[in-house]
A and B are shown apart, each in its own frame.
Chain A
Amino acid sequence: MTTGQRSYETDVLVVGGGGAGLASAITAGEKGCKNIMVMEKAATPAGSTSMAHDIFGAESPVQKRSGIDAPRDLLFKTAMEWAHWSKINPRLVRAFIDKSGDTIRWLEEKGVRFELIQFYPNQVPLVRHSVIGHGTELMKVLRKNCGDLGVKVLTRTRGKKILRDGEGRVTGAVADTKEGEIAVRAKAVVVTTGGYGNNKEMLKKYCAYYKDNMTYDGLPSNTGDGIAMAIDAGVATDGLGVLNLWGPFVGSRQRVAFKIDAKGPDGNPVIMSLMYVAWEPETLWVNKHGRRFMDEAFNLAFFAQGNAVAQQPEGLVYTLFDSANLERMEKEGLIRPGAADRAVWLPMQAYTPLPGLVEAVRGQIGGDLMVSDSWDEIAAWMGAEPKTLKATIEEYNTAFDLGYDGLFAKERRYLRPLRKAPFYAIRGHASICDTMGGIKVNENMEALDTEGKAVPGLYAAGVTVGCWESESYCYRLTGHLVGFALNSGRIAGENAAAYVAR
């Protein structure tokens, strides 16, 4: 212990106060553990869960009451097939999915309310438990439960070192606060510090396909502290370097939004973004070389497209459309109105007319939007060969005329020609929703060392751990980021409490 260092003592120490962290703290408390402490780097224990909308659940009370058949076996197999049975740990995934229905019960008992909402058209089975009041309300409930159980929460406290004794047992952690360093002696430590999306050094070091133009739109506090601490303490990693991307993302984290003269279903004016326009399935997408790279209508299930965007030269893509299409969007509304934007709490429904859209979009010229009567000028702006770009447009217009996209078999109803000037191009890139790899754990959320042995007293949960998800969001298991956070958090909390009681 160094001079001036404050010290604390507890049974279970949770490093990171997001959804996984508070779920593990509460669960440890419910299992009879009396001394629990949570340290959170930010000003409020919130984490990425507070930014979310929904949580995955299988065979939950909500589903049962609604007559929805969402079998754990089916969803487990869906998850494993999505990851080719190779990129994720089947026991870990099984443990999470098996627990998920009970976690919905657990949350309902605490007062959280849900409605089952589809994430994409005709989703079966419905697994997305949309939280009334969103992640904000969910975390509020978890914070209250921590308070009720007497969990000690230290905010603005950044974990930096996991302590182990001569026999390898975990004995606590050291953290930084504004008032200096603190040391917490603990019988068990649960690491739940989230991903490292806001840590460019780690992204460059661990992720082979990371590009500098990828934006990150999660919490800035997600700098991978717990993963770094665990590596320093001799813990193994799993799947490190896997990113959960989405896109094309337009603009920066402080996204450009503009008000238009239309009301959403809540009666409030719609706030629009160029990104929503860029995601219309009836547009044409090309890379920097002016070549198409995917079926644009695939964005009805939009997470995988983030990976496709990231694979393009310089990680750049361009959404192209003509004036007739923009006028159509103004008159009829968007087909896919920004449902993936996490600020969707200013809702806008599909096919809601958007009066003033054309003028508002034109007001965004400059930056990521180019408008011109000439494809040559647009090609020059993109840095593409004009001949290639024009050939792509010609091919796409012909596909519309034929009613058949011979290249990517895009559905006929989403084919729309680009013939009425002026023409529009919106530049986009991939954005990091979160990182997927991290601390290696088993299905009990015990952290494993490089020999595959559990480190006594060390647990990890949530996005901090690896190999629960492969390189793109398995959208059929909608809400599984928060779902994994809370379920793995509960499992870690149960096991940490049992370890302490031994």
Chain B
Amino acid sequence: MAMRITDECVCCSYCTSACPVGAITQKNEEMYQIDADKCVECKGYRESPGCAEVCSVGCIVKA
């Protein structure tokens, strides 16, 4: 159970501030990444994954 950032990412960094468990970091100049071991899809925190909700290009999906 985890969310995943696709290669459409433009590195806006919004997802990092939405993540309640600190699972999101910058992977390289071109994209951010979600640590699948840490990600809980916001279960117990939000109704739906916050990262996908704030993503400025809509590139965060269920892994």
Q: Which residues of A does B touch, CB under 8 Å?
A: 42-44, 46, 50-51, 134-136, 139-140, 217, 219-221, 253-255, 257, 259, 267-269, 271, 273, 341-343, 345-346
Contact = CB atoms under 8 A, between A and B. Distances in A.
Contacts of A50: 10, 12, 56-57
B55 A136 contact: yes
* Interface majority SS (helix, strand, loop, mixed), chain A: loop
Contacts of A220: 11, 29
B63 to A, nearest CB: 19
Contacts, number: 83
B10 A343 contact: no
A51 B14 contact: yes
22 contacts: A43-B10, A43-B30, A43-B31, A46-B12, A46-B56, A50-B10, A136-B55, A136-B58, A219-B10, A220-B11, A220-B29, A221-B10, A254-B16, A254-B25, A257-B16, A257-B17, A257-B19, A268-B47, A271-B17, A342-B14, A343-B17, A346-B54
> A-B pairs with the 3 shortest C-beta distances?
A50-B56, A343-B17, A259-B20
A51 B12 contact: yes
B35 interface: no
Interface in B3-39: 7-14, 16-20, 25-26, 29-31
A44 B54 contact: no
A153 to B, nearest CB: 13
B45 A269 contact: yes
A273 B17 contact: yes
Given A43-B30, A267-B47, A273-B17, A345 B10 contact: no
B54 to A, nearest CB: 5
Nearest to B16: A254
B59 interface: yes
Contacts of B56: 46, 50-51, 134-136
B9 to A, nearest CB: 6
A139 B17 contact: no
Given A217-B13, A254-B13, A254-B25, A44 B50 contact: no
